Amino acid sequence: MTKRTFSMLFTLVLLLAAFQQALGQELKLNDLEYFETQGANVLVYSNLFTGGFNDEKTAGIELIHHGVRTAQGGAVRLSNTPEQWDLVPAIPTRTVTREANAIEAVLRYEDYDFDSRVVVTAKGKGVEIAVYLDKPFPAELEGAAGFNLEFLPSQYWGKTYLMDGRLNRFPRYVVGNTVTRSNREKIKQYKGYVTSDDRGTGRFVDPLPLETGRTFLLAPEDPERRVKITSHDAEIMLFDGRMLAQNGWYVVRSLLPAGKTGKVLSWIVEPHAIEGWIREPNIGFSQVGYLPSQPKVSVIELDKKDTPLANASLYKMGADGKAAEVFSGNIEPWGDYYKYHYVKFDFTAVTTPGIYYIQYGDFTTNNFIIANTVYDKITDATSDIWIPIHMNHMFVREGYRVWHGEPFKEGYRQAPPNTDHFDLHGQGPTTDTKYEGLELIPGLNVGGFFDAGDFDIETGSNIGVVQNFVQTWEYFKPQRDQTFVSQEQRYVDLHRPDGTPDILQFIEHGAKNLVAQAEIIGHMAQTLSNSVLYNYHHLGDAASITDGLPFNPDLGPYEVAPTGLSSGMKDDMWAFTSRNPGLDLRAATMFAAVSRALKGYNDDLSERALAQSKRLLNEATELLASQPEESRGRRFGAADVGTNLQLYISTGEQQYADKFLELLWPALDRNLSYVILTALHGIPHMDASYKEKLLPYVEQYKEYVEGLEKDNPYGVPIGLGNWAGSGAIVNFGTTICFAHKYFPDIIDASHAFKTTNWLYGCHPYHNYSLVATIGAARPKEVFYGNNRADFSFIPGNVAPGILFRQPDHFENYDDWPFLWGQNEGTIGGNTSYLIFGSAFKNLIK
Ligand SMILES: [Ca+2]
Ligand SMILES: [Ca+2]
Ligand SMILES: [Ca+2]
């Protein structure tokens, strides 16, 4: 080979490499049916608009850009900036055509008998998104039907954009121009609900575009976020969805042309992909820290293109601020789990108390503590802050701050028959009470806990919450008193001890509402909730959700009576009262437990709870017996097993023990991991043969627990549903604690650390603690609480956490609070965490 041919060959090789690199950046349809290049994934209806609460901002055409899901909602939509309750398209068919490198979907709006086809085709470094109409869309959708794609504000605000070369910056906060239009022109919202109060104007707000043009370049300065969108046949508009709703996204939109068929719109969307980009390792560890004696294993999440290192180190901080390496250990491979590769770093050998951090190659974590005290306070923020702030019908103060005034002073009205509801409830064909539709039901505005990020009282959930409190009290007798609660003053003051254990006051507060329901309505309501959608999505002081004045039909809307005692506002909350004997039965068991717990503290409420327990038990048993067998057969979950156990504990009647045992064993056979905790709670109340019969199930459970080590790198039950799985992982931890208590030779206590590890930072996506504050070095900073519009948190909240999106993406936004499936906390979930934390602290004592 001559020198010349060698150099020619060399040049050719270089050229080929460059060509391949360029090709390497081209988006390709992969086996999981999305368009992929390293650093950019375009998903086309992998996730549909079927989440349960309409537009959850987790569906449509989506872009995962250098590891972050930065765009979603790509679809034909009927407004400039769709809100949660705007209509979403059904997607009856989705077709992947490999030869054409294309995915096609039919989008259907049933309400308008309107079909369109969206075809996404790989085109070089981007995709073409085209909309086809086989017949023109209905005339009433002219100016409404358009193709939208939504970008995540927190990933773009402060960055620049260019529209046809004109310079702009994405606004940090929504400031812009809107117009109002006649309600006659408004596209109807879900089931005809309306998300805003038009103050009697008959007009709705419509945002104007921030910019309009043909070539839209997002974030040219940021290679991780740069996206170019061009269209030859349509104007591209940019809107700010936050104009109408704080959870809105930046919306890129083109209107569909009226009267046309065929290919009516096309965009080229090119997400920039950084050449050779490799996602930074996510080094998972407990942000709360570790006990000296406990297992300590960091799970490190790696890009599949990353090369795992051979070892990692632990550094200890000295009092002089200087750090020294104190341990070096091997990196052990675990394997692939969905999108990433996982390795583990075991530093259990390090047992000296101190301040440490992990060094993995060039990556250093924040510090954490090894000490015997790290878990001492894990429930305090939840019990001292989160729970009292969620006490309904009270004024809640903390130092200089008022969390909320006294809500719903006007009380609750009877929900009219045949009423649907937007929060998954409804009133059946009758009221099942002595009240007429819309009549005031006096006395219900007392006690109870806000459900979650919203302010309704979910009766089923509140029953579970009071059970959780009673269980915590009866098992652990926490004497903690950091909260002043006065039912007489309807006043709560945080950090002001009043001589009564807070947990008794929480039991009392929950029971007050539930006893009122039973006494006044005659049975349990389904929910006490909003009657109008525009105040359901309330953000701010709970006392301002309604005007506090009862509705007076003699007054016009927005009118207040001269006495100041009533108003014409139809904003009063409603009680949904369709009778459910299954719920009554659960209430009966809860009331029996309440009556035990409150004896000697509030004897009056204790006796009233017992009276309602007996009455509801009799009535519910009769009602259930008169129901057809098949509808009873369907009720067969852990709740029914647990209800019969609680009934037996409360009444001592053998029939409930028999029913408990009859339901328990088949339930364990069907769903062991879910039902076994209930079975464990039965041990103190059953004879010795019961524990013996349970033994093989506990052995089976041990296999299940060990099998989780092979299921995923974290060894916990990871949920893949539409609501992320912290709740199941908390229950897993609680189950371990109780299983170890009764079967210490079979279930090892150390499994419980898998739950704390996961909750406090050792999980996919990022390594922040999923529990707000609680002594973690790096807790999550934003949650979907009722203060979410402030990008904040309520201390002690447990986020659902790591949400799975099809087909292979786990995420938890910590700069965007508004996705309930990953960032909301519920009163049910947070009181379950109280039990776990109490049981866990007991376990490690
Ligand atoms: Ca709710
Ligand atoms: Ca107290
Ligand atoms: Ca009112």
Q: What is the pLDDT of residues 591-620, one digit of tens each?
A: 999 999 999 999 999 999 999 999 999 999
pLDDT at 10: 52
CA of 504, nearest ligand number:
2
Q: How far is the CA of 504 from the centre of ligand 2 (A)?
A: 8
Q: For the stretch 138-171, what's the b/e string if a residue is b when 16 or more beta carbons lie within 10 angstroms of its beta carbon?
A: eeebeebbbbbbbbbbbbbbebebbbeeeeeebb
- Please give the Cα distance from 833 to 827 (Å, whole number): 10
Is the bond leading into 497 cis (omega within 30 degrees of zero)? no
- Above pLDDT 70, what percent of the chain? 96
d(CA 790, CA 778): 19
List pLDDT tens digits, range 442-480. Answer: 999 999 999 999 999 999 999 999 999 999 999 999 999
Ion ligand 2 — residues with CB < 5 Å: 481, 483, 498, 500, 502
pLDDT at res. 634:
46
Q: What is the pLDDT of residue 7?
A: 55
Cα(570) to ligand 3 centroid in Å equals 6
| Nearest listed ligand to the Cα of residue 495 | 2
> How do residues 377-432 score in pLDDT, each as one tens digit?
999 999 999 999 999 999 999 999 999 999 999 999 999 999 988 887 899 999 99
Ligand 3 mean position to 573 CA, how many Å? 8
Distance 470 CA to ligand 2 centre (A): 16
pLDDT at 83 over 80: yes
E-assigned strand segments in 524-566:
527-529
User: With 80 as the cut, is the pLDDT of residue 639 above it?
Assistant: no
pLDDT at 9 over 60: no
Q: Is the pLDDT of residue 24 over 90?
A: no
For residue 570, how far is its CA from the centre of ligand 1 (angstroms)?
20
Q: What token pair was written down for 335?
A: 């394997």
Would you state the pLDDT for residue 53? 86
The alpha carbon of 102 and the centre of ligand 3 are apart by a number of angstroms equal to: 54
Site of tokens 């954009």: 161
In the chain, what percentage of residues exceed pLDDT 90? 91
Give the pLDDT band (50/70/90) at residue 578.
very high
The pLDDT assigned to 52 comes to 78
**From the CA of 202, how far away is ligand 1's center (Å)?**
29
Q: How confident is the model at residue 191 (pLDDT cuts 50, 70, 90)?
A: confident
Measure 500 CA to ligand 2 centroid, in angstroms. 4
Complete DSSP assignment for 183-225: GGGSPPBGGG--SS--TTSSEEEEEPPSEEESEEEE-TT-TTT
Please list the residues that pair with 168 across neighbouring strands: 161
| Predicted pLDDT at 632 | 52
When pLDDT is averaged across residues 792-811 and rounded to a whole number, the result is 98
| Average model confidence (pLDDT) across the chain | 95
Query: Which pLDDT does position 231 carry in this prediction?
Result: 98
Q: What is the chain's Cα-based Rg?
A: 29
Distance of CA 336 from the midpoint of ligand 3 (Å): 56
Strands 236-240 and 211-213: antiparallel
Predicted confidence at residue 631, as pLDDT, reads 59
How much is the pLDDT for 2?
45
How many angstroms from the chain centroid is the CA of residue 122? Answer: 33
Q: Report the alpha-carbon distance of residue 209 to residue 633 in Å, rounded.
A: 55
* CB-CB contact of 305 with 280 (8 Å): no
For the record, the structure tokens of 427 come out as 């009133």
Residue 147 has pLDDT above 70, yes or no: yes
366: tokens are 């924040």
456 alpha carbon, closest ligand: 1
Ligand 3 centroid to 81 CA: how many Å?
30
Among candidate residues 414, 431, 462, 580, the one with its CA nearest the CA of residue 827: 462
Binned at pLDDT 50, 70 and 90, residue 3 comes out as very low
Q: Is the pLDDT of residue 8 over 70?
A: no
Reply yes or no on whether the pLDDT at 22 is more than 60.
Answer: no
Cα dist. 299→337, 761, 808 in Å? Answer: 12, 10, 18
Q: Which helix (H) or strand (E) holds 353?
A: none
Q: Which ligand is nearest to the CA of 486?
A: 2
Distances (CA, A) of 619 to 166, 376, 510, 583: 71, 45, 22, 12
Distance 706 CA to ligand 3 centre (A): 55
How would you classify the pairing of strands 363-364 and 311-317? Answer: unpaired
User: Does residue 839 have a pLDDT over 90?
Assistant: yes
Q: At a CB cut-off of 8 Å and minimum separation 6, what does 153 contact?
A: 170, 240, 242, 248, 249, 250, 816
Which range, of 22-31, 160-169, 703-712, averages the lowest pLDDT? 22-31
Cα-to-centroid distance, 662 and ligand 2 (Å): 41
What is the CA(530)–ligand 1 centre distance, in A? 9
CA of 419 to the centre of ligand 3 (A): 19
CA of 823 to the centre of ligand 1 (A): 15
The neighbourhood of ligand 1, an ion, using CB within 5 A, equals 423, 451, 454, 456
- Per-residue pLDDT, averaged over 222-241, amounts to 97
Ligand whose nearest atom lies closest to the CA of 413:
3
Q: Which ligand sits closest to the CA of 452? A: 1
Residue 385 C-alpha from the chain's centroid: 20
